Homo-oligomer: A and B are copies of this chain.
């Protein structure tokens, strides 16, 4: 099968590319390499069937060319930076909403009918139902990131309705694992490498978060794509647990054998738009036969161990 992976040089994307290549598919990576790394794509041995296109999703012509003859698009490229959205309000709109529109248009003009999309638990805002199912009450957005991904979901659904496409929309919790290069575990790790004796934490440490190991995430995506056939198929992806920020700090510092002073700053929320409690109900995809193989603690430890072995990825910080 010919697969286009947008953001294929990124954290989740490059892991997915490895898997698709291993499964014998032809893979085209479309990535602008602002956060993606060629290093990720070259770290495995056998690269037969891999094509790499360095370009931006806002370049419609290049995108339409890349889309030719593809069987399916895994659309993972995005600005994945929730926290700084309000500092540059157009970024999520451009890199997520408009980019997704361009992907859909490129699919339409090329007759490509299948798209798997990386959405986010952030579309739930601060839900009043926890664990949060896909069918929770109509949400209100609390971040420009969430708003942009909700807009993408709506566009994808409308394209499926109007143009006979099929989509798989995955609302991820935070993903961890090999090649992870942004988010709070990454930030904590970087801080501790710079000053092992203290750690500045946004919020009071009681925020409850959910994480999923990247390989479990990829299993979930491929499992759903193979086993569901509605025009639009929407799934939460996460573990059946959550942890507090202070738990994750404990696991990180233990893995690094450090005992820093923890300096909490601010109140219940780490920042404006930070959801103090993320915990998804994953019954829908579990009923399909998928379940994660790793706990949150295991994914945090694996992440820290990876970062410690690959100092190169630290330079690609924002």
Chain A interface size, as a band, is 35 or more
A146 interface neighbour in B89, B134, B154, Cβ under 8 Å: B154
Chain B residues with Cβ below 8 Å from A162 are 85-86, 143-144, 272-273
- The answer to whether A141 and B125 touch (CB under 8 A), given A163-B86, A272-B162, is no
Secondary structure call for the A interface: helix
Check B141 against A138 for contact (C-beta < 8 Å).
Answer: no
Kindly state the separation between the CA atoms of A94 and B157 in the bound complex, as whole angstroms.
18
Shortest beta-carbon distance from A150 to chain B in Å = 5
Contact A93 B101 (CB under 8 A): yes
The reply on A137 being an interface residue by CB < 8 A is yes
Known: A86-B163, A137-B137, A151-B147. A157 touches B125 (CB 8 A): yes
CB-defined contacts of A136 to chain B, threshold 8 Å: 137-138
Is A262 engaged at the interface, CB distance under 8 Å to the other chain?
A: no
B-contact 0/1 string along A199-243, CB 8 Å cutoff: 000000000000000000000000000000000101000000000
| Residue A24 interfacial (CB < 8 Å) | no
**Given A105-B89, A273-B162, also A150-B139 (CB < 8 A):** no
Report the bound CA distance from A104 to B93 in whole Å: 13
Chain B residues near A272 (CB-CB < 8 A)? 161-162
Contact with B along A61-102 (1 / 0, CB 8 A): 000000000000000000000000110011001000110010
| Contact residues in B for A35 (Cβ distance below 8 Å) | none
Q: 8 Å CB contacts to B: which residues of A117-146? A: 125, 134-144, 146
Report A's interface with B, CB cutoff 8 A.
85-86, 89-90, 93, 97-98, 101, 104-105, 108, 125, 134-144, 146-148, 150-151, 153-155, 157-159, 161-163, 232, 234, 272-273
